[in-house]
Amino acid sequence: MADQKHIRNFCIIAHIDHGKSTLADRLIEYTGLLSDREMEDQVLDTMELERERGITIKAQSVRMDYVADDGEHYLLNLIDTPGHVDFTYEVSRALAACEGALLVVDASQGIEAQTLANVYMALEHDLEIIPVINKIDLPNADPEKVKREIAEVIGLDVSTAILASAKTGAGIKEILEAVCTLVPPPQGDPRAPLKAMIYDSFYDSYKGVITYFRIFDGTVRKGDRIRLMASGWEGVVDELYVFRPWLTPVEELSAGEVGALAATIKDVRQVRVGDTITLADNPAREPLPGYRKATPMVFTGLYPVETNDYNRLREALEKLQLNDASISFEPETSEALGFGFRCGFLGLLHMDVVRERLEREFGLELITTAPNVVYRINLTNGQQQMIENPAAWPDPTKIESVEEPVVKATIITPAEYVGPLMELCQDRRGTFLNMEYLSPQRVSLHYKLPLAEIMFDFFDQLKSRSRGYASFDYELAGYEQANIVKMDILINGEPVDALSCIVHREKAQRIGRALVSKLRKLIPRQLFEVPIQAAIGNKIIARENIPALRKDVLAKCYGGDVTRKRKLLEKQKEGKKRMKAVGSVEVPQEAFMAVLSTSEEED
Amino acid sequence: MGIALYLHIPFCIQKCRYCDFNSYAGYGPEEQQRYVDALLREMALWAARPEMAGTPVSTLYIGGGTPTALDGALLERLIRAVGEYFALEPGAEVTLEANPGTVDIQGEKLHRAFAAGANRISFGVQARQEYLLRRLGRIHTAAEVEKAVAAAREAGFTNINLDLMYGLPEQTPAEFRETLHWALSLEPTHISAYSLIVEEGTPFFAAQQAGRLPLPPEEAEEEMAADAVRILGAAGLEQYEVSNFARPGFRCRHNLVYWRNEPYLGLGCGAHSFLTLQAPLDNLGPAGPHLSASRVQGDSHVATAPGRPGDHYRFWNLRTPAAYQAALEAGRLPVEAGEALDEAGEMAETMIMGLRMVEGVSEARFAARFGRSVTSVYGQVLERLERQGLLVRQDGAVRLTPRGMRLGNRVWMEFLPD
């Protein structure tokens, strides 16, 4: 059993690209956990997608041994945190598992919005924060400026800030020393009833769900019968592990330690982040604070391009759900797209990541319908309804009012882009909250924004209006009433369920026009004229016509042309087969995605 | 039952800017001589195969490229060789393609060709307007067209085709009408009027990609197509295929063989054949590894296999003159690759090719050929296409409506097997 005095549990808070993974690798390397040969670049980011996007989706952990300058032998647990706004709750749980955090800031970039949000969260959890100015080897590094920013914005003491370069290895030892001397040791009671917090899990096809936890009080041993207090699951611990960095079996773990367990848990949904593990025959009186159930915020329809891929899509979603309990899905049918699934995600990035994994890891081709948030509808009969699918939108005459989710957004930007960014927020129905100068050059803008308004290319707009310098973070801030309507798209007079979307009434016309014009360009000419319309209820708000196809013929075909011309016709037929029939109109896949990329800025 | 024979001459004085045919500019007399020698060897090899034993040649078509790019003696030798190696039916249609810019003023070439047995001549004319001829990269003027047609008559040709094009960059319907009337004044028996296809790999394609090919608007092209049918029809040249018009009795019999999906043998580099094999056709591909650069016709997705006796086999020769000649000089057939058509494929092609003709596909002939009625094979497809107004079934034939003729691809693809 480890002596708590020598345990240090810490995490790294950093913006994307500020070098978190590389820094973690250097720490692992320095403590000699892995030889150079074993040192796969960036050990902590395991998924291909995570590496490509430079973000961490699953929290990884590693346990390191370190003999400090004081001659003492320390046990360092580094808990990596998910790196995106969609996973704020998961981040909060990972932070709660630590006593300290390294605040890593790029020496040439300064603090970004997301870092700031996470630092505030870490401060709320009373974490000891050690500022690390990273990438000091870069030519445009300005560590002094970044230090000043940290001091002014967060109010941290930067006199002990460590200058580091994960690339060259500078500052690595100083970081390890600082973790030992500055981060307080855990102070749990190893003899009290077991209280361990789940901060992540993943599914292993042999062992079932592997649960990651941090013990606050008590001791757990192999063979113990445990209970998960929120989900109610009970079972026996088959294996206990620590992270070195791969799972290494141990016999017991106690207060202050970080580890994982396998207990033949089949369903990842039983293992909820934030839940408390206790012993079944000597349970804790109450769970650890801060647990809440993750609820999907963004919904979209996912349909296989090839209709007979439906079962493969279901199996793929089931597999992903094994590892990610926050994905929800249920069967959905669309007249135009056939059989698919209505899927719920924590946020947009989460949605993107899942979709990309489905396409890449499972080789599925998918059509995604326009994502929407969950609306709360107050009906005239006094009842309330949560709507996560435009198809389920009630008859407008029965709607008393509609509420939509809103977020509190923080944007950090160089001062010169404040104007364009405020314009963007106003345009997205934002309410200005306040603005602070982090330094004479950098501004932190705070807005309340409808969640729906940041779903369509908000991030891209933010980047393009600030030349890539602005950063953005948000937290959910409840529901607010808004003038929201359902807009239908009619192709050849028939409403197409998969193209319906929920919009703000004042923007309906602009969005409708942009969408209709986009569809006109995407839908090839048919044998007859095809009107494309946008409508709210019975009222047409935008219309364009696709003129009838008048000529499609190979002018020349003799003996020498047959093989080649047949190939051309086969290709044409193949293209036609891949289209979806909407009534008698053939609509290409891309048309259903048009909504995804249509912003009202287009016209 | 006779066979249609095609001879390919891959030489041109200059490549036209829209042309993606297998033709090459810049070949001199020795190279032409070597090529014709190879062609004669190929005839000899085919003459010795069972498919040609006792099979008369009912039509001969010498196309290109530009057959009249050959000098008169070579041309004559070539035409005469056909009669020496094969049984040319009495009264066979023998067509010679000609570029008005390659016909000498004395008409010596045309005299020799006619004397050797050619009885139909097809001139690439394209347009009357000089700016269009230049833009297309043609080597002749409108005046030279008139002289060439006169020379052909002088040589003895009475069955004369003129190729025209429409939908050309900046061409107006009025200009095309002028071209039509002018062409009619030359009193041809046959006119082919092609709507321009911008083919990949041509200078026109590059220009179009770069946004520098101002094609006429859709309505104008449509007007030109309608004008062709109307003006030529009024002059007694009736439309009988998507792009072909003829006086009664002057339809091109050779091309009718293609459209009726009947057997043909194509000789020369890159030429295509379709016939029932009676002996294996293997040892395909280039003669030596150094020549394997010759590219496969169409795209690489064509599943090719050596031909076996009984196969309804479509095959094609090595594409470049060099590879083609090398194979023959090594004493073997220059076939690059081929595919055996299954029944579904052959039925589909019979429909696709047949529906190019105004007369359409004869239901009786289809049933006799495949032992199944058109209805039993394509009943549902035909019903749908009829409903869409693209096709009719009348007088024992399936044929396209005038609208169907403009939307042929939409019809044809429906017959392809899944």
Instruction: Give how far A555 is from chain B: nearest CA, Å.
Output: 6
A285 contacts chain B (CB < 8 A): no
Q: Is the pLDDT of residue A509 over 70?
A: yes
The reply to whether residue A562 touches residue B271, judged by beta carbons under 8 angstroms, is no
Question: How high is the ipTM of this complex?
Answer: 0.91
**The pLDDT value given to residue B141:** 96
What residue in A sits closest to B351 (Cα-Cα)?
A: A566
Instruction: Give how far B142 is from chain A: nearest CA, Å.
Output: 24
Q: Which residues 262-281 on chain B approach chain A with CB closer than 8 angstroms?
A: 264, 266, 270-274
Q: Cβ–Cβ contacts within 10 Å for residue B279, how many?
A: 11
Is residue B47 within 8 Å of residue B57, measured between CB atoms?
Answer: no
**The pLDDT value given to residue A545:** 96
Residue at token pair 């403009």: B406
Question: Testing the interface with B: which of A561, A563, A572 to mutate, by most B Cβ within 10 A?
Answer: A563
Q: Which residues 77-136 on chain B approach chain A with CB closer than 8 angstroms?
A: none
| Tokens matching residue B208 | 């179009």
**Which residues in chain A are closer than 8 Å to B317, comparing Cβ atoms?**
none
Give the whole-number percent of chain A exceeding pLDDT 70.
93
What residue in A sits closest to B317 (Cα-Cα)?
A: A560
Most trustworthy range by pLDDT among A158-162, B24-28, B166-170:
B166-170
B16 contacts chain A (CB < 8 A): no
A292 contacts chain B (CB < 8 A): no
Whole-number average pLDDT of chain B: 93
B316 contacts chain A (CB < 8 A): yes
Q: Is the pLDDT of residue B244 over 80?
A: yes
What residue in B sits closest to A560 (Cα-Cα)?
A: B272
Q: Is the pLDDT of residue A560 over 70?
A: yes
Give the whole-number percent of chain B exceeding pLDDT 70.
96
Q: Is the pLDDT of residue B344 over 90?
A: yes
**Which residues in chain A are closer than 8 Å to B197, comparing Cβ atoms?**
554-556
More confident residue, A291 or A162: A162
**Which residues in chain A are closer than 8 Å to B4, comparing Cβ atoms?**
559
Q: Residue range A472-476: average pLDDT?
A: 83
What residue in B sits closest to A559 (Cα-Cα)?
A: B258
**The pLDDT value given to residue A2:** 64
pLDDT tens digits, one per residue of A73-109: 999 999 977 766 677 788 888 899 999 999 999 998 8
Instruction: Give how far A578 is from chain B: nearest CA, Å.
Output: 13
Categorize the per-residue pLDDT at A391 as very low, low, confident or very high, splitting at 50, 70 and 90: confident
**The pLDDT value given to residue A56:** 46
Q: Is the pLDDT of residue B396 over 90?
A: yes
Helices A505-522 and A589-597: angle between axes, nearest 10 degrees: 140
| Tokens matching residue A378 | 């107050």
| Tokens matching residue B167 | 């939908």
Q: Residue range B244-270: average pLDDT?
A: 97
| Residues B126, B140: Cα–Cα separation, whole Å | 10
Q: What pTM, to 2 d.p., does this model score?
A: 0.73
The H or E element spanning position B349 is: helix B343-354
pLDDT tens digits, one per residue of A234-278: 999 999 999 887 788 999 999 999 999 999 888 878 888 899 999
Strand A442-450 relative to strand A431-437, pairing? antiparallel
Question: Testing the interface with B: which of A528, A529, A549, A562 to mutate, by most B Cβ within 10 A?
Answer: A562
The shortest CB-CB distance from B258 to any of A558, A563, A564 is to: A558
Instruction: Give how far B148 is from chain A: nearest CA, Å.
Output: 25
HEC letters along A346-405: CCHHHHHHHHHHHHHHCCCCEEECCCEECEEEEECCCCEEEECCHHHCCCHHHEEEEEEE
Strand A7-14 relative to strand A73-79, pairing? parallel
Could you give the C-alpha distances from A462 to A116, A280, A428, in angstroms and in order? Answer: 18, 50, 12
- Which has the minimum average pLDDT: A165-174, B194-203, B342-351? A165-174
Question: Testing the interface with A: which of B409, B414, B415, B418 to mutate, by most A Cβ within 10 A?
Answer: B409
What is the distance of C-alpha B195 from the center of its chain?
Answer: 15
A560 contacts chain B (CB < 8 A): yes
List residues bridging with B94 in a β-sheet: B60
Q: Which residues 492-531 on chain A approach chain B with CB closer than 8 angstroms?
A: 527
A578 contacts chain B (CB < 8 A): no
Let me know if A165 is exposed, middle or buried by CB neighbors in 10 A (0-12, 13-18, 19+).
Answer: buried
The reply to whether residue B221 touches residue A554, judged by beta carbons under 8 angstroms, is no
**The pLDDT value given to residue B295:** 42
The reply to whether residue A554 touches residue B195, judged by beta carbons under 8 angstroms, is no
**The pLDDT value given to residue A45:** 46
With the CA atoms of B401, B405, B407 and B408 taken in that order, what torsion angle do they form, in degrees rounded to the nearest 10? 110
Q: Is the pLDDT of residue B97 over 90?
A: yes
Q: Is the pLDDT of residue A43 over 60?
A: no
